[in-house]
């Protein structure tokens, strides 16, 4: 079972456990989990939706942690590079990773009605893209899988 689904869940505990996991990973890998980076991850975890870099920057600024774009972009770069967050290409926005620890290409389902977003577990090498790539002799390094539509709550019954 993924850390969260479209259904409601214990937000506070999902957030603190993700923070702990990130902290541990940084210790293990000797990465600097600095205040800006920590705050950026907290901000992303606070929402189950994608936030633009400038949204995050505004929230960082509200905490007194920097007001110029590179501050936010650098923190996001760190989070994405280390698997704590992903960029949602379709939205030019960022979201906390739902399966931290493992590095992976994410697959997203984005609700166009309520902006909620969930990350599904998939293996890009295995799906249709993987098959097409194999057929074409193409070697996949990274994959983007993003679906837009209606989540169960917003879907007309």
Q: Around Cβ 114, how many Cβ atoms within 10 Å?
A: 13
Is 99 within 8 Å of 84 (Cβ atoms)? Answer: no
- In angstroms, what is the minimal distance from the CB of 141 to its own copies? 4
Q: Binding partner of residue 19 among DNA, its own copies, none, CB under 5 to 8 Å per kind?
A: none
> Contact between 58 and its own copies (CB under 8 A)?
no
Give residues in contact with DNA (CB under 7 A): 30-32, 34-37, 52-54, 65-71, 73-75, 77-78, 87, 92-93
Distance CA 108, CA 126 (A): 16
Stretch that binds its own copies, among 12-20, 22-30, 74-82, 139-147 (CB under 8 A): 139-147
Distance CA 4, CA 6 (A): 7
Distance CA 67, CA 143 (A): 32
Stretch that binds its own copies, among 46-54, 59-67, 69-77, 115-123 (CB under 8 A): 115-123
**Adjacent-strand bridge partners of 120:** 107
Is 20 within 8 Å of 12 (Cβ atoms)? Answer: no
| Contact residues: its own copies, CB under 8 A | 5-6, 89-90, 107, 109, 111-112, 118, 120-124, 126-129, 132-133, 136-152, 155
């Amino acid at each position: 079972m993924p850390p969260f689904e479209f259904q409601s869940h214990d937000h506070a505990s999902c957030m603190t456990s993700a923070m702990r996991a990130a902290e541990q990973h940084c210790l293990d890998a000797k990465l600097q989990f600095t205040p800006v980076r920590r705050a950026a991850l907290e901000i992303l975890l606070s929402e189950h939706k994608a936030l633009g870099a400038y949204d995050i920057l505004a929230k960082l600024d509200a905490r007194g942690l920097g007001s110029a774009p590179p501050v936010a972009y650098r923190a996001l770069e760190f989070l994405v590079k280390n698997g704590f967050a992903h960029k949602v290409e379709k939205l030019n926005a960022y979201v906390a990773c739902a399966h931290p620890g493992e590095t992976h290409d994410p697959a997203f389902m984005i609700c166009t009605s309520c902006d909620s977003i969930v990350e599904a577990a998939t293996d890009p090498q295995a799906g249709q893209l993987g098959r097409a790539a194999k057929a074409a002799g193409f070697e996949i390094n990274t994959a983007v899988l993003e679906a837009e539509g209606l989540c169960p709550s917003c879907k007309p019954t």
